[in-house]
Structure formats: C-alpha cells, structure tokens
Amino acid sequence: MEDLKHTQAELDEIEDSLKDKYLTFDIEEESFAIPIKFVNQIIGIQKISNMPDTPDYVKGVVNLRGNVIPVIDARLRFGMSKTDYNDRTCIIILIIENELYGLVVDKVSEVVYIKDENVTPPLNKKITKGNNYIAGIGKVGDQVKIIISPSEILSEEVFNMLKEY
C-alpha cells in the first residue's frame, strides 16, 4: 500500500505550485477569486438541510460522501439579493482550518494566475462596512477580480458554532 505522507520538501513544492492560482466565480455581475489552495472540489447544487438559529447566509448542511458540510450562500454573505438556484449554481467545497465548508456561487468561471504585484489592497474598511473577507483586488488583463479571504468568510462566532456540527 502506498504511503500517503509527504516530506516537508514535497509539501513546499505543492504549496509553490499553487501560489498565485485562484479559482474565479461570479455572483450577479461581479467576479470573485479565491486562492486555489483552499479549494477541495466543486459540486453541483444539491439538497441543503436547514440549520436553525444561524445567520441567513448559512443555508444549512449537505451530506457529501458521509461528511456533513456547512454551506454558506455567497450572495447573502456578500450582502447581495437572494435568487433561485439554477443549473449553473454550484457549491465550492473549501478547506478552512482543516474543516470543510461549502460556498454557494452563481457559477464557477476558471482558474487564473494573479501575481502579487497585480493585487492591490481592499478599499478602506470604513467605506466597505468592514467586509473583512475581501483580501484584495486582483488585476487580470483588463478585468478585476475581488479576492476573497476564505478564513474571513465566516465571522469567528459562526465559525466556532459550525465547527460544533
């Protein structure tokens, strides 16, 4: 049986190969990006079981091959209007602090390279109502991508609550 453990050098090489790679996705007319190193997989929309007493952006949980995964609706988390899911809607399964979370998005676009020199800091927090989940603005050709910090998508209170499920 093959040993699945990696040496530190192998882990560093894997980390280097993911540097500057982002998965892009759309919500309404906006384009977002998330570092690919946080992405576990992308699945189609499926039945989401509601969870009581959670913020509106926490849609519930899904059962993915025996794993119960909390699901967050990115539209609601980002303060956008609610809409019905369609055949392009999907769930990005993220790994945040060794836990799996689902992020519902309108559609996944592509994987892009965004070098550090093409990333500018987010807008002043005073005018963006404290949206700590925005890590920066990435320039890709003549387009911009709003770069999301996966570890900040959930408030600390909600993150700790969901870890208990």
Predicted confidence (pLDDT) per residue in 64-107, tens digit: 989 899 999 999 988 899 999 999 999 999 998 888 899 999 99
Q: What is the mean pLDDT of residues 45-61?
A: 89
Q: For strand 67-73 and strand 99-105, is the pairing parallel, antiparallel, or unpaired?
A: parallel
pLDDT for position 3: 46
Whether residue 111 contacts residue 39, with contact meaning beta carbons closer than 8 Å, is answered with no
Share of the chain above pLDDT 90, in %: 52
- CA 31 from chain centre, in angstroms, equals 13
Task: In whole angstroms, give the CA distance from residue 104 to residue 93.
Answer: 9
Q: How many CB atoms lie within 10 A of CB 38?
A: 21
Tokens, residue 59:
């849609």
If you average pLDDT over every residue of the chain, what do you get?
A: 83
User: Does 2 have pLDDT greater than 50?
Assistant: no
* Strand ranges (E), 28-160: 30-35, 39-44, 58-64, 67-73, 90-96, 99-105, 107-113, 119-120, 134-140, 143-148
Question: Using CA of residue 165, residue 23, residue 127, residue 83, what is the dihedral sign?
Answer: negative
User: Does 1 have pLDDT greater than 50?
Assistant: no
Task: In whole angstroms, give the CA distance from residue 42 to residue 80.
Answer: 22
